[in-house]
Amino acid sequence: MTSPSSSLHVPDLIRQKRDGSEHSRAELEGLILGYTRGEVPDYQISAWLMAVYLRGMTPQETADLTLVMADSGDQMDLGTLPRTVDKHSTGGVGDKTSLILTPMLAALGLTVAKMSGRGLAHTGGTIDKLESFPGWTPELPEDRFLAQAREIGLALVGQSRDLAPADGKLYALRDVTATVDCLPLIASSIMSKKLASGAHTVVLDVKVGAGAFMRTLDDGRALARAMVDIGTRAGRQVRAVLTDMDTPLGHLAGNSLEVQEALMTLRGEGPEDLTELCVALAVEALAAYGEDPAQAEARARATLADGSALAKFRAFVGAQGGDASRVDHPERLDVAPGRAEIVAPASGFVERIDALSVGRAVLVLGGGRERKGEAIDHGVGVELLRKPGEAVQAGEAVLRLYHREGRGLDAARALLEVGLTVTAQAPQAQPLILDRVN
């Protein structure tokens, strides 16, 4: 290991943060870039992360940390593309929003040139969902990526470039030092990747609830404000919507099943919650480009009613090698043949279908991965035949499992039974969109 630059005395920086002082941009650069280059060891950064966890960071410090992390590797230059938009969700269950929103944005005349991730643990990933189309590839050379974004308005690739490598290293260390759930570290981690990805406008969907990183609305608001503040200081337009993630979005969770539901929504026949969220996020993107919200909402809805968003999606799947005929024949997507049902234990109203339980059930059926790089079964998943608030009779099916030869079925059943509650009284309706921050 080479020694860090002579002006950097890491124990002093740890001491400063331990005692609650604010770092300068130059100090953060020395520390974080030194760590990324392997010049500052894990044990010193571990101590520093814990000091940040306990003492926090000022908004200026958080923005500086984010910029240093964004500058630590490759940066996408989208400057030649018109009206670029990126979208990020803090992770949910049954969240197929990107599949619907991104072609809507393309149909609205915006450009989405986006990097997306794969699923990990109980949350799904857009790349895994798109791989339900045989032949579809998340790997495009940069010139094709940019050309496709210019022609169709939509190109989506996996995270192949070395974007924000400082974040990758810091996240791995946070994971083993109990410093993941720290607001300035989460906000800077997410935003460093968004800044390095190059879009002018970023729309954030901050999930709140049982299936989300942020369990309470106050915590979700604080994270949204921190990320919007970072973006503003970096000269980007960032707008956030806070949404409920106590229960999965839409009716289907699992890769091919979610694609089928996304296609229904793109045909204007999707579930109301999912449609509302996609329209709300599209309105935020258009508002960032100065459009009046009422007009933006009408235009966004029209892309689902007139088939223009579906046409963009069809062109996008085909351009990246996928079998676009399945866009019009979703029944040809691979869905596992096994079926099992969870029934209501009593008559009454569905009070809760816990998002985390559904996400874990998909995982144990084989539809998700515990570790990076594991293969997944695109065809398995869970269908919500009833949603919270709906009436049920004892013995009536509430959830349907799609399984492959019984793999993981008992464990999935157990998870879903614990996550389902039925009560005599109708529960209070919970709004999907809880707040907006911009």
Residue 400 Cβ, how far from ligand URA at the closest point, in Å? 31
Question: For the window 163-202, what string marks contact with ligand URA as x by the rule CB under 6 A?
Answer: --------x-------------xx--xx------------
Residue 78 Cβ, how far from ligand URA at the closest point, in Å? 20
Residue 193 designated active-site: yes
Residue from 156, 249, 151, 157 nearest 205 by CA: 249
Q: Does 89 bind ligand URA (CB under 6 A)?
A: no
Spatial distance between the Cα atoms of 89 and 242, rounded to a whole number of angstroms = 10
In the complex, which residue's CB is closest to ligand URA? 189
In Å, what is the CA distance from 28 to each residue of 10, 25, 48, 60, 279? Answer: 10, 5, 11, 12, 39
Residue 281 Cβ, how far from ligand URA at the closest point, in Å? 18
Q: Helices in 176-307 by DSSP H: which ranges?
A: 183-197, 217-233, 255-266, 272-288, 293-305
The residue from 17, 23, 96, 193 that is catalytic is 193
DSSP-derived letter for residue 111 is: B
Record the tokens describing residue 291, joined without a space. 């459009």
Q: Can you state the angle between helices 272-288 and 255-266, rounded to 10 degrees? A: 70
Residue 189 designated active-site: yes
Residue whose CB is less far from ligand URA, 175 or 292: 175
Record the tokens describing residue 349, joined without a space. 């109203």
* Burial class of 273 by CB neighbour count within 10 A (0 to 12, 13 to 18, 19+): buried
Residue whose CB is less far from ligand URA, 189 or 256: 189
The residue from 116, 189, 192, 357 that is catalytic is 189
Total H helices, total E strands in the chain: 17, 13
The residue from 114, 174, 207, 312 that is catalytic is 174
- Count CB atoms within 10 A of the CB of residue 385: 16
The residue from 83, 87, 88, 239 that is catalytic is 88
In Å, what is the CA distance from 154 to each residue of 111, 146, 309, 333? Answer: 6, 9, 11, 22
- Count CB atoms within 10 A of the CB of residue 143: 8
Residue 109 Cβ, how far from ligand URA at the closest point, in Å? 29
Residue whose CB is less far from ligand URA, 189 or 357: 189
Q: What are phi and psi of 208, to 5 degrees?
A: -130, 130
Residues of span 209-238 touching ligand URA by CB under 6 A: 213
Residue whose CB is less far from ligand URA, 35 or 213: 213
Residue from 78, 65, 85 nearest 226 by CA: 65
Residue 174 designated active-site: yes
Residues of span 35-54 touching ligand URA by CB under 6 A: none
Residue 51 Cβ, how far from ligand URA at the closest point, in Å? 17
Residue 118 Cβ, how far from ligand URA at the closest point, in Å? 13
Q: Are 212 and 92 in contact (CB under 8 A)?
A: yes
The residue from 64, 86, 95, 167 that is catalytic is 167
Record the tokens describing residue 190, joined without a space. 């997410």
Residue whose CB is less far from ligand URA, 48 or 213: 213
Residue whose CB is less far from ligand URA, 132 or 188: 188
Residue whose CB is less far from ligand URA, 121 or 418: 121
Q: Which residues of 171-206 are buried (b: 16+ CB within 10 A; e: fewer)?
A: eebbeebebbebbbbbbbbbbbbbbbbbbbbbbbbb
Record the tokens describing residue 419, joined without a space. 């996550």
Dihedral angle sign, alpha carbons of residues 366, 367, 370, 375: positive
Residue from 317, 328, 387 nearest 126 by CA: 317
Residue 389 Cβ, how far from ligand URA at the closest point, in Å? 30
Residue 372 Cβ, how far from ligand URA at the closest point, in Å? 14
Question: For the window 59-78, what string marks contact with ligand URA as x by the rule CB under 6 A?
Answer: --------------------
Residue 46 designated active-site: no
What number of chain residues touch ligand URA (CB under 6 A)? 6
Residue whose CB is less far from ligand URA, 29 or 167: 167
Residue 221 designated active-site: no
Residues that bind ligand URA (CB under 6 A): 171, 185-186, 189-190, 213
Annotated catalytic residues are 88, 167, 174, 189, 193
